[in-house]
Each structure stands twice: as C-alpha cells, then as structure tokens.
Structure 1
Amino acid sequence: MILIAGPCVIEKDPSIAFQTAEQLKNLTEDLQMPYIFKASYDKANRSSLSSYRGVGLEKGLDILDEVKQQFGLPILTDVHSPAEAHIAAEVVDILQIPAFLCRQTDLLVAAAKTGKIVNIKKGQFLAPSDIEYCIRKVTDSGNKNVLVTERGFAFGYGNLVSDMRAIPIMQRFGYPVIFDATHSVQLPGGVGGASSGERQFVETLARAAVAAGANGLFLEVHPQPDLAPCDGPNMITPDTTRALLTVCQAIFQIVHQ
C-alpha cells in the first residue's frame, strides 16, 4: 500500500514540513510501507483572495528539495501551469494536477512531457469513467507514468460524497488509484470564505477505500491541524496516522492476498 502524505501547504515556518516528513518517514519504515512526501508551495484555488496560499514557487521548491535530500524521500507537489510543471520537475518526483484543473489540456501535456510521474486528482465534478480522457492526455503525450487520485464528488452545496465504486471503475484504465481520505471529508465553503471539514470521518473513508481495492492512501498530516493556515479541519495528526495506517495495511493485505 502506497502512502502519499504531508501538510497541505508549506508554511512560513518550514520546520512543520521537516517535522512531519521525519515523523511519517519513521512511521512508514516501521510499517514497511512505500512513502511519498507531499506539500504544496502554492494553493492557487483557495476560496478567498485573503486565504494563505504558501511560500511561492522558488522558496517552496528549495524547501522541498531540502526535505528530499535530508530524508531521502520522493516528493509530490501541485502544479498549476505548464511553466510551473517544467520548473517543479527539476526538484520533485511526482507532479500533481489539482482536482479543479484535471481537464486542463496544456497543463496535463506539459506535465507529461517532463517525464515525471503525473498524479491526476479527479475533479469533484467529474464522473469516474471520464478520468480516462484526462489519463489519455498524459499517455498520448508519451508518458505512461500515471497515478489517479479520488477525492469525492460534489453532490450538493457544501459537501462531498465518496462513492467507492469510483475506485474499481478508474482502475479499469490500467493505472493505480489512490484515495484521498482527508480532502474527501472537506466541506467546501463550510465557513464562508474557506472550506471546513470533518476529520472524524477520515478513518471510516480510508478503511472503506482500501477494502474497495485502492492502491494507496493520500493523507494531509500536520502536527497541530487546528493551527494550520489551510485545510486544518480535515487534516490529521501523525499519531492518528499511525493508528489509521496500521488498520488499513491489515485490510490491504487481506484484500490483496
């Protein structure tokens, strides 16, 4: 079972990224689980103009490179434009296409042409069968290194619903499907100009997704989620992550035995 995990965004205090990376590396080594560190240098789709976005491309990539070198971890980060994709590819191992941009042809093609693994987060507005066309934009551009991440569907105002049928549907296209258990409990616009979340349901959805055959989990993890500048209500702590992964790994082994 693959784990992609880390804080939502690189904060003004970069020690959060290093602290989280170290704790998750130690945890996944104990569990013998492949681990990819994730954090965003910029969150370009915040609800409000005044919301915290990150430290920016240049500084953010410097910090991600330090995490990579210090802990020997593969790195994933979001990219929002073709130009960013080429710059970020010099540092990171996986380029993530944000859910709201999953159909942006120029971005998908540019990410593909870097030769890096491309993680496509399925948009909340997209049927799982339609992810095929997003995948094709990458593979037809000469890159077969693709991951797909499920993060829930928008079926109503201010809420997301996870349909576990999406996992086997998207796996039919031949690429691993990761389940984002923390963004799936997000409540878009739940506190007016920002999203809220229900982290108490992260474990329920994660266990269900692994039981449904997901190839791995995506988790946003923070030592003090309630103090995080964004996505705090749906992030979990490293201690919670350990307990969650222990259970999910056992489920994964049963499903795949």
Structure 2
Amino acid sequence: MVWEQLRRAKPLFVIAGPNVLQGREHALRVAEKIADIRAKRGLVMIFKASFDKANRTSWGSYRGPGLHAGLEILRDVKSAFDLPIITDIHETQQAEEVASVADVIQIPAFLCRQTDLLVSAAKTGRIIHIKKGQFASATVMREAANKILRAGNDKVMLCERGTSFGYSDLVVDPRNLVWMKESGLPVVLDVTHSLQQPSANIVELSNGVKVMRADSPPPMLGRVAQPPWQSVVSGASSASMIPELGCMAAALGVNGIFIEVDEDPSKAPCDGQLQWPLERLEPLLEAWMHIAIARTLL
C-alpha cells in the first residue's frame, strides 16, 4: 500500500523528520506536525528518524537510543499518527527486526555497495531506499538497485545526497538525478545531507575548547595532544540553501524530497546546522509543490 502511494504521489512525496531519535515525546511532537501538514496539504509523507547513527565520525558523538528502544519509539509514532516509517540499518542482522516496524528501510550512503546488507534488506519485502554514496556515480547506484531486484524485491528507490568535492565538502550534480531517473525507479533528493561539509571542524577538548579545520595537515593533530584524542569532529554546514536545492529537485521532476527537521535545530544532537526548523516546513513544501506542478505542464 505504501509503495503504491509513493509511486502515485503527485506532484511528489516527502520524507521528513529529525536526524536521530531524541526521545519519545520529541518524536511524537515532530510527527504530529508532519501528520498535520499531510492532512492539510494532501501530501504523501513518511516520518524519518534514525535509532542509531552508527557512522558518526567521533567516539563521543551522540548516536541515538539504539535498536530496541528506538524501534519502540517509531512504533509509537506509527500507531499514534498512522504515518509510514523510514529508518536506516547498518548491519545485516538488523533487517528483520527493523522491518517489523518500518515501511521503508534505508541503506546509508557509506554502505550503498554492501551486497549482504542490500540483500538482507531486500529479503524483508519492505521498500528499500538506497542513499547514493558520496563516492558513487549514477551507474553504481543502478547496480546497487539491481542487487535488490536480483534478491526478489522490486520496491526500491534511489536517493541523491551529494558528491565529495575535496576533503570536507559536497556538491550536487543535477545530472545524477536525470541519470538515476532513467532507471525507471523513484528518485529522491536529500536536501539536508547534500549540503554537508562533513568533518570540517575539530573541537579539541583536552586543552580547553579549540576549533580548527579538520582538513589541516595531519601533523597538526599531533601538536594538539597525544592519542587517544579528546576531541569531537563536526561539520561546518548550513541549511540556508535547502530551499534552493528543493526548488531544483522539483523542477527536475524528482519523485520525492528528503528533508530533516527539528523543533529547534540549534539544540539537535546531530547535524543541527543542517536541519530545517519544523515551524517553517509547511510553507517550504508549498513552494516546492508549486514548482513540481508547474513542471508537469511543460
């Protein structure tokens, strides 16, 4: 049922929610707002949140409540608002348990080539949303999707989330959206992580708080402190260009847009600088929908 809703969504569907679960009440508040927008605007919307950010750069970075507690929160969200759920897995053994709650299983960008992970997700029968690796081409993504198809699951979507541009920056090549659409599969643009400047800053904690560029030559690390380092690596990104990326995606005819939102992004424990304020989500989506509708008239 969810798959058919996504395939038929006009002018496009939306995946929205916080980067990572921060507790039951927080998730329910965000989900309630998303459900309200869905009802008011007649949009197909999916609630997104991670139970574990297993690929955080630094040892001390917040990861989330974990698999079991996280799935309980997502189950409550689904029950309370009848919202489809998407969340990501990082290990093959997580697939079946996550599939008991999630309607869509997301494959993280860094893991988009991991055959065993893709196959384990595919065998659940759930919709599979594959994030394009920052290192991957549209051709690589076609092959990733083919692994899902070969495993007997034809419910697969491809997601553009930027391409590495030097050490600590990403850019979106709009041609990738066009090329991935040629596969005939639904294509999504992640307007959040496409704006990352990943691991751009090091917050050094051992000698007070000191911020420096993480792409500095390696000897700088040695001059600051001896290992293991008491530091946290963070991004230097900004959500300010989210509207423009969404406009581009809508104009190019994507099937869906992925956007992370929070009540107060400045307090979010992960990627807060990239998340869009929840209270400003509805007018942003309205603008994108107008562009997507206009494109259908061409």
Same fold (TM over 0.5): yes
Q: CA deviation at 1:89?
A: 0.5
Q: Which runs of 4+ in 1 moved over 3 A?
A: none
Residue in 2 that maps onto 1:10: 21
Other structure's SS at 2:29 match: helix
Correspondence for 1:227 among 219, 244, 267:
267
Other structure's SS at 1:156 match: coil
Q: Is the contact between residue 16 and residue 222 of structure 1 (CA under 8 Å) also seen in structure 2?
A: no
Q: Deviations over 1:48-83 (max 9, x none)?
A: 011000000000000000000000010000001111
Correspondence for 1:156 among 150, 155, 166:
166
Residue in 2 that maps onto 1:65: 75
Residue in 2 that maps onto 1:178: 188
Larger Rg: 2
Q: Distance in 2 between matches of 1:85 and 1:195?
A: 29
Q: Distance in 1 between matches of 2:32 and 2:236?
A: 27
Q: CA deviation at 1:14?
A: 2.3
Residue in 2 that maps onto 1:107: 117
Other structure's SS at 2:174 match: coil
Moved more, 58-67 or 155-164: 155-164
What amino acid is the match of 2:244? T
Residue in 2 that maps onto 1:83: 93
Residue in 2 that maps onto 1:206: 246
Q: Is the contact between residue 79 and residue 98 of structure 1 (CA under 8 Å) also seen in structure 2?
A: yes
Q: Distance in 2 between matches of 1:32 and 1:199?
A: 26
| Equivalent residues, number | 256
Residue in 2 that maps onto 1:27: 37
Correspondence for 1:189 among 191, 194, 199:
199
Q: Is the contact between residue 4 and residue 36 of structure 1 (CA under 8 Å) also seen in structure 2?
A: yes
Moved more, 76-85 or 183-192: 183-192
Q: Distance in 2 between matches of 1:152 and 1:182?
A: 10
What amino acid is the match of 1:216? G
Q: Distance in 2 between matches of 1:34 and 1:141?
A: 27
Q: Deviations over 1:94-151 (max 9, x none)?
A: 0000000000000000000000000000001001222111000000000000011111
Other structure's SS at 1:249 match: helix
Residue in 1 that maps onto 2:179: 169
What amino acid is the match of 2:171? V
Q: Is the contact between residue 4 and residue 218 of structure 1 (CA under 8 Å) also seen in structure 2?
A: yes
What amino acid is the match of 1:188? P
TM-score after normalising by structure 2:
0.84
Q: Deviations over 1:192-239 (max 9, x none)?
A: 212231100111111111111111100000000000000100001122
Gaps of 5+ in 2: 1-11, 203-232
1:45 paired with 2:55, answer yes
Q: CA RMSD in A?
A: 0.9
Q: Distance in 1 between matches of 2:97 and 2:145?
A: 22
Q: Percent identity?
A: 43
Gaps of 5+ in 1: none
